[in-house]
Structure 1
Amino acid sequence: MSFVRSFIRQIALVVLFAVLSLGRAQANPMLLVDMETLEVLYAQEAGQPWHPASLTKLMTAYVTFEEIAKGTITLDTPVLLSKHAVSQAPSRSGLAVGSALTLKDALYVLVVKSANDVAMAIAETVGGSEAGFVAKMNDVAARMGLTATHYTNPHGLHDPAQFSSARDMALLSLYIRQSFPQYMPMFGTEAVKLGTAELDSNNDLLTKFAGTTGMKTGFVCASGLNMVATVERNGRNLLAVVLGGASARDRNERAAELLLKGFSGAAQPTGQQVLTLANQPGVPPVNMRPKICGKEAKAYVAAQEAAFPLGLKGQPSYLNDHVAPRAYVATDLGRIAVGVSLPRPRPAHLPRFAAPGDDMALSGDLRPSLASTSSPAPFPQPRPNRL
């Protein structure tokens, strides 16, 4: 009998060890940067290659901003949703094949709703094809020195060959802010109204963490829940990157904790700038699918909750502020026949902001003290009402 009890005890210990091994809390990539000085205030696995998911759309937006600055397209350019675009997996805008938006409206839907159909439609409009646009994305990544980044699509739906790092995502976000501050309001918008639909952001910090100015969230099973968040408080501008969250709560609360440590002084400069922070070249990206969507998920999420319970029921939360959401109204232009001229010519696009010079945005030269001001330049003037 004692032998049986001993055997059962050993089996129980083996099972318990296996469960604990599956559910062990994981330290995922996190990064905190002072956006004015580019100083790193905190870094954890910041150079580890990771699947970016919809953080990819930050590069989709940047490439588009750059092409607008070059004059190859304008914010009034119609973005047509092809059959290929509408066939992309959710999330989607809900628009039908042949529908069109202005490029400005499409960018809002891209950033706020993270719509994969609109990401593909922008890519086809700006790059002529998905492949042409992806080539531009990788060209920009090379110019920026994003050494752990490679793109295969414009939306972030999972591809094993699409990866980045917390360090590279921070750099890309800083480039957007420095080179194209006039577009920053897009990243701080919580909802887009499109017809009768309201397309909401997944960034809870926008309405629950005072001072949040953007930027983007993302999720696929292989990445976990990702976030880049930018916040301004008392004249300081900080950027946090959290990759691989076990849930939206986990991701959001960790980002908020990082930012609060930066603002309180608990996180001090590490002596490094984000530009000199090292990536891990040649290291394969982490695949979170078994832990997020696979058989290990229940034990893994439980372990992450035990290690970081903030925001759970009965626990304190960092997301207690009440911030009025910023909304934007987009217009469905209806269906536009391919190859047929619009009924009336549109007036010439006269930008009210300076296109970046060769020594800044188009050359990939990120420098301290060139961050955007709190009063971004306005969008180009809207075209006049048609009579």
Structure 2
Amino acid sequence: MPIPSPPQLSAKSWVLMDAASGDVITSHEPQKRLPPASLTKLMTVYLATTEIQGGRLKPDDRVVVSEHAWRTQGSRMFLDPRSNVSVHDLLRGIVIDSGNDASVALAEHIAGSEDVFAGMMNVTAKRLGLQNTHFMNPTGLPDPEHYSSAMDMATLARAIINDESDYYALYKEKYLTWNGIRQPNRNLLLWRDKSVDGLKTGHTEAAGFCMVTSAIRNGRRLITAVLGSSSMENRAADTQKLLTYGYRFSETRTYAKAAHELARPQLWKGEEHTLPVGVLDNLSLTLPKNGFRHVQTRMQFEEPIVAPVTKGDIVGKLTLLEGDHALVTRPLVALETEAAGPWWWRAWDTVKLFIQNLCKDAFDAQSSTT
């Protein structure tokens, strides 16, 4: 049964993505390069929390706010120059207040300057596969060479959710008070939709009104990226339309779990006679809702699988099919390292493989003449 067409939005570009599968449910101009405004700060925070997880930065490290950071234009945390602020507080000021001053202060602390930090951002963007993104600063202040896309922002949001769960809770905080000034999070959906728990808004005259949002309902998480909406109200409405559409008309199922044994094909010339195999990552699919859908699993193995085998070696492929239509194919990998067996066992398996191949060649020759 076909599903309805996606909603009409005010935005220039958008993506609706399932967080588990990474599949795009619907999109419009997803690769279009546009100014991301303060959505940039998603990468600023991602890079900082990556540094924390790598042990190169600590949440309680103290940062001295430079004159340059204090003078940064645009939205502010209202830091005082030469004040001493913790990394954790700066992260809150970036996420909740969208503080440009906090972004520059943190960038200078990590890399020494905005320029060097922007270089680190671009290296990270390349690692994450962001194909239409280039950063010139940690704030999102306008620059002709500073751009991103709805697809890249959704992909970055997914990385934040999957890689940095310890810090994801920052994105649902509604208020921050600093220097006696209380500011609200500009994500209106945090007040309107209890399922929404992040991520970030952005606005400049060039970018319009932008928002990357995530929501979780009944254990299923969706991500939206909306760039270039016509107003603050419209970017919230655009996002809400996408979330409603995604939850109403699509569903996601996990067909194979990461590192879970799916089969034990025969292993030749090894200490063990079989090899546990599976997939590296969860294999999830997002498809239009259909109560009559029947997805079948097909596994094909390299023949023969011969020891030694190292954990992670590709030994075959797993295909999900709906009827005769292949939905997705993933490599099957060895889940354990298996050493070669003793010489007499290897020799015996060599003989058996030789006889097996002779029989197969004879069968193929007979089949070709009949």
Q: Specify the TM-score bucket, using the shorter chain as the normaliser.
A: 0.5 to 0.7
Tell me, yes or no, if the aligned pair for 1:86 and 1:96 is still in contact at 8 Å: yes
1:117 partnered with 2:71: no
Q: What's the secondary structure of 2:30's corresponding residue?
A: coil
Aligned to 1:86: 70
d(CA) in 1 for partners of 2:98, 2:220: 28
* TM-score, normalised by the number of residues in structure 2: 0.65
- For 1:177, the aligned partner's letter is I
**Which one of the candidate residues 56, 61, 69 is aligned to 2:45?**
61
- For 2:189, the aligned partner's letter is L
Assess, with a 3 A threshold, how the Cα gap between structure 1 residues 173 and 26 changes in structure 2: closer, same or farther. Answer: closer
1:152 partnered with 2:169: no
Count of aligned pairs: 249
CA deviations on 1:110-154 (whole Å, 9 max, x unpaired) are 001001011000000011211221111010011111110000000
Aligned to 1:22: none
d(CA) in 2 for partners of 1:194, 1:26: 34
- For 1:75, the aligned partner's letter is P
Tell me, yes or no, if the aligned pair for 2:11 and 2:238 is still in contact at 8 Å: no
Assess, with a 3 A threshold, how the Cα gap between structure 1 residues 125 and 174 changes in structure 2: closer, same or farther. Answer: same
**Deviation of residue 100 (structure 1)?**
2.2
Q: What's the secondary structure of 1:226's corresponding residue?
A: strand
**Deviation of residue 212 (structure 1)?**
0.6
1:1-387 residue pairs with structure 2 within 5 A?
A: 28-265=12-249
d(CA) in 1 for partners of 2:200, 2:194: 16
- For 1:137, the aligned partner's letter is M
Tell me, yes or no, if the aligned pair for 1:41 and 1:268 is still in contact at 8 Å: no
- For 2:52, the aligned partner's letter is I
Tell me, yes or no, if the aligned pair for 2:11 and 2:227 is still in contact at 8 Å: no
RMSD: 1.8
Q: What's the secondary structure of 2:48's corresponding residue?
A: helix
- For 2:106, the aligned partner's letter is I
d(CA) in 1 for partners of 2:70, 2:100: 8
Most deviating of 96-105 and 192-201: 192-201
d(CA) in 2 for partners of 1:26, 1:231: 21
Tell me, yes or no, if the aligned pair for 1:149 and 1:165 is still in contact at 8 Å: yes
Question: Relative to total residues, which structure has the larger strand share, 1 or 2?
Answer: 2
CA deviations on 1:319-353 (whole Å, 9 max, x unpaired) are xxxxxxxxxxxxxxxxxxxxxxxxxxxxxxxxxxx
Tell me, yes or no, if the aligned pair for 1:112 and 1:190 is still in contact at 8 Å: yes
Tell me, yes or no, if the aligned pair for 1:109 and 1:199 is still in contact at 8 Å: no
CA deviations on 1:194-246 (whole Å, 9 max, x unpaired) are 24221211100011112111000001111100000000111111111111011
Q: What's the secondary structure of 1:192's corresponding residue?
A: strand
Assess, with a 3 A threshold, how the Cα gap between structure 1 residues 45 and 94 changes in structure 2: closer, same or farther. Answer: same
Tell me, yes or no, if the aligned pair for 1:224 and 1:243 is still in contact at 8 Å: yes
Assess, with a 3 A threshold, how the Cα gap between structure 1 residues 60 and 234 changes in structure 2: closer, same or farther. Answer: same
Q: What's the secondary structure of 2:74's corresponding residue?
A: coil
**Runs in 1 of length 4+ with deviation above 6 angstroms?**
none
Percent identity between the aligned chains?
A: 35
d(CA) in 2 for partners of 1:120, 1:136: 14
Tell me, yes or no, if the aligned pair for 1:38 and 1:368 is still in contact at 8 Å: no
Assess, with a 3 A threshold, how the Cα gap between structure 1 residues 368 and 160 changes in structure 2: closer, same or farther. Answer: farther
Runs of 5+ consecutive residues of structure 1 not aligned to the other structure: 1-24, 270-365, 371-387
Tell me, yes or no, if the aligned pair for 2:11 and 2:228 is still in contact at 8 Å: no
- For 1:193, the aligned partner's letter is T
Assess, with a 3 A threshold, how the Cα gap between structure 1 residues 252 and 26 changes in structure 2: closer, same or farther. Answer: closer
Runs of 5+ consecutive residues of structure 2 not aligned to the other structure: 1-8, 253-279, 285-370
Point out the structure with max Rg over C-alpha. 2
CA deviations on 1:38-92 (whole Å, 9 max, x unpaired) are 1111111011011010000000001101111221110011122111001111211
1 or 2 for the larger relative contact order (CA 8 Å, sep ≥6)? 1
Assess, with a 3 A threshold, how the Cα gap between structure 1 residues 88 and 247 changes in structure 2: closer, same or farther. Answer: same
